[in-house]
Amino acid sequence: MADRSAYKLTKDEIAELAKVLGRRPDVLVAARGPEGFVALLRDRMVVRRPQGWQLVAWTDIQRGGWDSDNRRLYWQMTDGTRSEIELNEQSALPHAFAERVRASIVAWRQIELDDDLGTVQLVGRRRPGSDEPISWQVEGLGRCDLGDPKVQSIVLGLVEEMRAEYE
């Protein structure tokens, strides 16, 4: 069992993070590793490594999870970039990470397109606990080509249908 201080930020770390955020951070849970630490806030995840800070809005995380064999938290951004960090102990962080990502999802649909065009996933997200406008994201799954004009036309219609339903 790790020392409880492994799950808290030091006063200096909180002060540094407050300077980066422009406000005092409301840390839900934190965990440390050999590369730095991760702190989960209500509106974003913060990763501190020797090379600097990474601030990640929950709405920008497409997917992620916990690799228990290698003690690594990993995530993929909506732009396709991937990142990960090794943690000494998982604490409650992986569960809180999953909850925060899920909390950003307002609407989700996976739709098989006609004419053998593949499958799309449509996701409407907003910052957890806010009334901000929903941001709509589309992911082509498998063989689906989002660059195909026919797919684009269908997807635009599907997004408009979801907007009408959820906004």
pTM of the model: 0.84
Q: 47 and 90 share a domain? A: yes
How many angstroms separate the most distant Cα atoms in the chain?
59
Q: Rounded mean pLDDT of 127-139?
A: 92
Q: 40 and 114 share a domain? A: no
Across the chain, mean pLDDT equals 92
CA pseudo-torsion sign 53, 138, 121, 106: positive
* Strand arrangement, sheet containing 36-41: 27-33, 36-41, 44-49, 52-57
Q: Rounded mean pLDDT of 39-65?
A: 95
Q: 28 and 85 share a domain? A: yes
CA pseudo-torsion sign 104, 49, 73, 12: negative
Name every residue whose Cβ is closer than 8 Å to that of residue 64 and which is 6 or more positions away in sequence.
73, 74, 75, 76, 97, 98, 101
- Choose one of 79, 103, 127: the last residue of a domain: 103
User: If pLDDT is split at 50, 70 and 90, which confidence band does 4 have?
Assistant: very low
Q: 98 and 111 share a domain? A: no
Q: 110 and 98 share a domain? A: no
**How many structural domains does the chain have?**
2
| Full domain range(s) for residue 95 | 4-103
**Least trusted range by pLDDT, from 6-10, 49-53, 64-68, 74-78:** 6-10
